[in-house]
C-alpha cells in the first residue's frame, strides 16, 4: 500500500460503535504497556473499561471521528471539549495502517475541522505519538505552540488551529 488516502468523518455512525469499541480494546491494551498508564482498569472478564464510550455517542461536546482508508476503519480520534479548548482524548491507528500516513492525515483533518484552541497529552515513552504530536501542532498552529511535562510519564502540547483560511474561530 502506498501512502493511504484517508478520509475522516465528523462523527462515527451508531452502527460503527461496536467496531470502534473493539478497536478501543486494542488501543487500551497497547497503551497499558507504557509506564505511567493504568493497566489495572479491566473488568473481571479481562475487558478494558472505558467509561466514555457511550458518552461519545450522546454528549454534544464529544466527537468520535473515524479514519477511513480503503473502505475500512483505519483508526479513530475521540475529541472532547475541555473548557474553552478541545482535547484529543484518544487517538488510534490500526496496526495494519501504520506507516502509511493515516495518523498524520487523520490528525490533520480532525484538527482542521475544529479550529480554535487544542490540548493533547501523550505518554513520553510512546515514540510514534510523541513524534506526531510534536510535528502536527508546529505544522498547523496559528501562533504559539506550548509544550511541557504534564507529569513524570506524560507530556502536553497546547496550540490553536486556524480555520482553513488561517483565521482563528471557535
pLDDT confidence of 2, banded at 50, 70, 90?
A: very low
CATH at residue 38: 3.40.630.30
With respect to residue 166, please indicate whether it lies within any of the assigned structural domains: no
pTM of the model: 0.88
**Predicted pLDDT at 70:** 84
With respect to residue 170, please indicate whether it lies within any of the assigned structural domains: no
Dihedral over Cα of 162, 166, 167, 169: its sign: negative
**What is the number of structural domains in the chain?**
1
In the numeric block, the cell 464510550 is attached to 53
With respect to residue 168, please indicate whether it lies within any of the assigned structural domains: no
Question: Which stretch of 113-127, 134-148, 152-166 has the lowest confidence by average pLDDT?
Answer: 152-166
pLDDT, mean of residues 27-56: 86
pLDDT confidence of 168, banded at 50, 70, 90?
A: low
| Cell numbers at 149, concatenated | 511535562
Q: Tell which residue, 95, 111, 130, 124, has the closest CA to residue 23.
A: 95
Where are the strands (E) in the chain, listed by range?
7-8, 62-69, 72-82, 85-93, 116-123, 146-151, 154-161
With respect to residue 169, please indicate whether it lies within any of the assigned structural domains: no
Provide the mean pLDDT of the chain.
89
The boundaries of the domain holding residue 152 are 7-161
Where are the strands (E) in 56-128, listed by range?
62-69, 72-82, 85-93, 116-123
Amino acid at each position: 500500500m502506498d501512502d493511504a488516502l484517508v478520509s475522516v468523518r465528523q462523527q462515527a455512525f451508531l452502527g460503527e460503535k461496536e467496531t470502534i469499541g473493539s478497536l478501543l480494546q486494542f488501543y487500551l491494551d497497547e497503551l497499558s504497556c507504557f509506564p505511567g498508564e493504568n493497566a489495572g482498569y479491566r473488568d473481571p472478564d479481562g475487558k478494558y473499561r472505558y467509561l466514555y464510550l457511550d458518552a461519545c455517542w450522546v454528549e454534544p461536546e464529544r466527537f468520535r471521528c473515524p479514519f477511513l482508508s480503503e473502505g475500512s476503519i483505519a483508526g479513530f480520534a475521540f475529541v472532547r471539549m475541555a473548557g474553552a479548548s478541545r482535547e484529543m482524548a484518544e487517538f488510534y491507528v490500526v496496526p495494519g495502517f501504520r506507516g502509511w500516513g493515516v495518523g498524520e492525515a487523520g490528525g490533520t483533518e480532525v484538527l482542521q475541522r475544529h479550529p480554535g484552541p487544542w490540548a493533547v497529552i501523550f505518554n513520553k515513552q510512546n515514540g510514534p505519538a510523541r513524534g506526531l504530536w510534536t510535528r502536527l501542532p508546529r505544522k498547523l498552529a496559528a501562533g504559539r505552540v506550548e509544550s511541557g511535562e504534564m507529569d513524570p510519564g506524560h507530556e502536553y502540547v497546547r496550540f490553536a488551529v486556524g480555520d482553513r483560511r488561517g483565521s482563528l474561530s471557535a
